[in-house]
Structure 1
Amino acid sequence: MAERLAADDPSFRYANLAVRGKLLDQIVTEQVPLAVEMAPDLVSLCAGGNDLLRPGSNPDVMAKRLARAVRDLRAGGADVLLFTGVDPRDTPLMRRLRGRFAIFYLHVRSIADLYGCRLVDQWSMQGLRDWRAWSADRLHMNEDGHRLVAARVLDVLGVPFEDWRMDWPERAVDPRARRREDAQWLREHLVPWVARRLRGVSSGDGITPKRPDLEAFIGYGGAKSAPPAARG
């Protein structure tokens, strides 16, 4: 997304304060004030998913916290992008929590309406229901998944890019291979995730933001990037 926006505006500056695994309170306390200080034109704020996975999380209380953060960002003049999460109905680990997710993301829609924010609705993105859009841990998107979301964000912003409405090519699914994949996921990802929750630690502990300052966008090759070529 940043590459595409930078291609249209030589004065474009970009910061990325996000750190994986952070809870809503941590984002509001540690990241939102920094974003307000930068006085940006546009802020993307995607938060709450990690909280919803934890026992006892209250989507109503979370929504009030999020609303205060959005109010602070809007008071500084920033345009704000909010995100719903992906529908968890296809994920065995999260399917039982679907009602909790739905309540919170309905709140997110309401907050977007109340404060005049733009909304990126990942819940409706059918392309994200395919495991080919996700990394091996089944909780974080891979490069293809992130590209789909970037396309949706750019569509919401009215910036030409590729279509986020996509259908994955059909492929045969071997039930035995799927069972092996499930067992591997259980062993390599679910068990360590549960162990971290029990220890009160996060995969983001000790990790700092990738781009903590609002600076000219430099692509991953070390120079200002041209927009990625659209895929057919």
Structure 2
Amino acid sequence: MAYTSYVAVGDSFTEGLNDPPIHATGVDPGQAERFRGWADRVAEHLGRLQPGFRYANLAIRGKVLDQIIAEQVPLAMEMQPDLISFCAGGNDLLRPGSDPDRMAKKLAAAVRDLRSTGADVLLFTGVDPRDTPIMRRARGTFATFYLHVRSIADLYGCHLVDQWSMQGLRDWRAWSDDRLHMNEHGHRMVAAKVLDVLGVPSEDTWRTVWPPREDVDPRAKRREDAQWVREHLVPWIGRRLTGRSSGDGLAAKRPDLAPLDSTGS
């Protein structure tokens, strides 16, 4: 299918953290941290194949499932695109007491609504968290939710991007310093996987095989871990305890369904 329009909804993963923009200079001060990300990369590729292609990205970092369903899903439905990507739930699963079964019921209802517009819908599992210090204790909760996602994709005829099976994403070289968001390499792999799932040829591959890493000095590793705790983990815990979000006060980077050469604002 030649897609003519695409709307992305979700959180920081879909917003594109931490994949830097192509042009870091001359950026609007209000968009100083306007990251690129896998969704932008997919849109750029689809746009090269279809003249007049339009794209909106409604994703905002820190948003939880309820917020995405309430704030972004209705806008995506109003835009009536050919393709909608919907990835949500990761921020919920990081919170104590999250219920993957209840989350799945909400997700299923939103997916049903999105599919009722006639759009193709992309759903995502997350990456296996067994190598991530914050998340590996909740691995069973993550796995339960992502099994629900697979079932919902099958039930409603959605495309499924299975990141759990992407072994290249289990290497830290695909991630930024905060260990929660992918870097350019990770986003490029996800974009390649999305295009593969959509049946669209791409020059990139998601089957990345990393070269062996040199042995790391245990003392250097401890210093890296301590730095990560100070710079990333403690601020993250602080936001959770005070009810704040990294996305507070931020707007979507491409709020309107507009041609790719437009900012969409």
- Measured against the shorter chain, the TM-score band is over 0.9
SS in 1 for 2:255: strand
Structure 1 spans left out of the alignment, 5+ residues: 221-232
Q: Choose which of 93, 97, 121 in structure 1 pairs with 2:134.
A: 93
Correspondence 1:103 to 2:144: yes
Which of the pair has the greater relative contact order for Cα pairs under 8 Å at 6+ separation? 1
| 1:92-124, Cα deviation, whole Å (9 max, x unpaired) | 111100000000000000000000000000000
Distance 2:138 2:262 in 1: 38
Post-superposition Cα deviations, 1:50-90, rounded to whole Å, max 9, x if no partner, equal 00000111000000000011001000111000000000000
Aligned length: 220
Give the whole-Å Cα distance in 2 for the aligned partners of 1:42 and 1:180: 44
Specify whether residues 140 and 219 from structure 1 end up closer, same or farther in structure 2 by C-alpha distance, changes over 3 A only: farther
Q: Tell me the SS of whatever aligns to 1:54.
A: coil
Q: Does 1:163 align with 2:205?
A: yes
**What secondary structure sits across from 1:120 in the alignment?**
strand
Structure 1, 170-179 or 74-83: larger mean CA deviation: 170-179
**Paired residue for 1:204?**
247
Percent of residue pairs identical: 76
Q: Quick check: 1:179 aligned with 2:222?
A: yes
Query: Whole-Å Cα distance in 2 between the matches of residues 219 and 134 of structure 1?
Result: 29
Q: Which residue identity is paired with 2:140?
A: G
182, 188, 191: which one aligns with 1:150 = 191
What is the identity, as a one-letter code, of the residue corresponding to 1:67? A
Other structure's SS at 1:97 match? helix
Q: For residue 52 of structure 1, what is the aligned residue in structure 2?
A: 93
Partner of 1:28: 69
Name the amino acid aligned to 1:97.
A
Matched, 1:17 2:63: no
For 2:160, the equivalent position in structure 1 comes to 119
* Partner in structure 1 of residue 234 of structure 2: 191
Give the Cα–Cα distance (whole angstroms) in 2 for the partners of residues 142 and 151 of structure 1. 14
Q: Structure 2, unaligned stretches of length 5 or more? A: 1-41
- Distance of 2:261 and 2:123 partners within structure 1: 25
Contact 1:109–1:119 (8 Å) recurs in 2: yes
Q: Aligned partners of 2:221 and 2:162: how far apart in 1?
A: 29
Look up the equivalent residue of 2:179 and give its one-letter code. R
> In the TM superposition, what is the alpha-carbon distance from 1:216 to its structure 2 partner?
0.6
By how many angstroms is 1:218 displaced?
Answer: 2.2
* Corresponding residue of 2:25: none
User: TM-score, normalised to structure 2's length?
Assistant: 0.82
Matched residue, 1:213: 256
The match for 1:62 is 103
Q: Within the alignment, does 1:77 sit opposite 2:118 as a pair?
A: yes
TM-score normalised per structure 1? 0.93
Are 1:3 and 1:219, in contact at CA under 8 Å, matched by a contact in 2?
no
Deviation at 1:174, TM superposition (A): 2.4
Cα distance in 1, alignment partners of residues 211 and 61 from structure 2? 30
| 1:6 alignment counterpart | 47
Corresponding residue of 1:227? none
- Equivalent position amino acid for 1:169 in 2: P
Q: How far is the alpha carbon of 1:147 from its aligned partner?
A: 0.5
The answer on whether the counterparts of 1:83 and 1:121 sit within 8 Å (CA) in structure 2 is yes
* AA matched with 2:210: W
Q: Counterpart of 2:97 in 1: which secondary structure?
A: coil
Letter in 2 for 1:70: V
1:43 matched to 2:88: no
